[in-house]
Amino acid sequence: MCKKLTQNQLRSIGRAYALQALYQAELNPQATAPSWDGEFDDEEGFPSLASKERAVATDFARLLFEGVVDRKSAVDALLNAAFDKGRTIERTSPVDRCILRLAAYEMHFIKTPKAVVISQAIELGVKYGDTKTHAFLNGVLDQIDKTPENSDQFSTNE
């Protein structure tokens, strides 16, 4: 019998699903949106999920994926404001770019607590990024919290 996963664990799995979908879209912009039905079954490192658990994880993944896609320009502006001078989101590796977009969207638009978002982004970076990804992600995401939310370019009414 499988151990029932918590809501937080299912959200973590959903973030990983969303990251994979964003990465696929990044590498192949003409591709259609993911089907979400069984798309991430049997992925290495993902536990077997009961149908209700899979639905929770994929619903959260879909929310994140669609939110990042719909608000990409605002998310990128938020990230570019957080970078050191001379760096932009487009000059970041595709994996890091997708993790940053996912985390920035969740932090700024869903209002998930900063500590949770950064922790989850670092976990994704350790799993999918290179050896220095975690420190880079931490630094950029920490700066997002310091970006004024009343700025028109970061409006939640896009």
DSSP the chain: -PPPPPHHHHHHHHHHHHHHHHHHHHH-TTSPPP--SSTTTT-TTPPP--HHHHHHHHHHHHHHHHHHHHTHHHHHHHHHHHSPTT--GGGS-HHHHHHHHHHHHIIIII---HHHHHHHHHHHHHHHS-TTHHHHHHHHHHHHTTS-TT-GGG-S--
Name the amino acid, one letter, at 103. A
Segment 83-109, tens digit of pLDDT? 887 888 998 899 999 999 999 999 999
Kindly tell me if the per-residue pLDDT of 128 is higher than 70: yes
pLDDT higher than 80, residue 152: no
CA 108 remoteness from chain centre: 12
Q: Residue 1 domain-assigned?
A: no
For 121, the domain range is: 7-154
User: What's the pTM value of the predicted model, to 2 decimals?
Assistant: 0.85
Residue 150 vs residue 114, higher pLDDT? 114
Domain count, the chain: 1
Q: Is residue 30 part of a domain?
A: yes
Residue 2 lies in a domain: no
Of 109, 119, 113, 96, nearest to 12 (Cα)? Answer: 119
Q: Is 71 inside any structural domain? A: yes
Q: Residue range 114-126: average pLDDT?
A: 94
Task: Find the CATH number of the domain harbouring 50.
Answer: 1.10.940.10
Instruction: Note whether residue 21 is domain-resident.
Output: yes
- The residue assigned the tokens 């639905």 is 55
Q: Determine, yes or no, domain membership for 72.
A: yes
Please check whether residue 106 lies inside any domain of the structure: yes
User: What pLDDT is stored for residue 67 in this prediction?
Assistant: 96
- Mean pLDDT taken over the chain: 83
> What's the average model confidence in pLDDT over 39-50?
60
Residues 85 and 72: their CA atoms lie apart, in Å, by 21
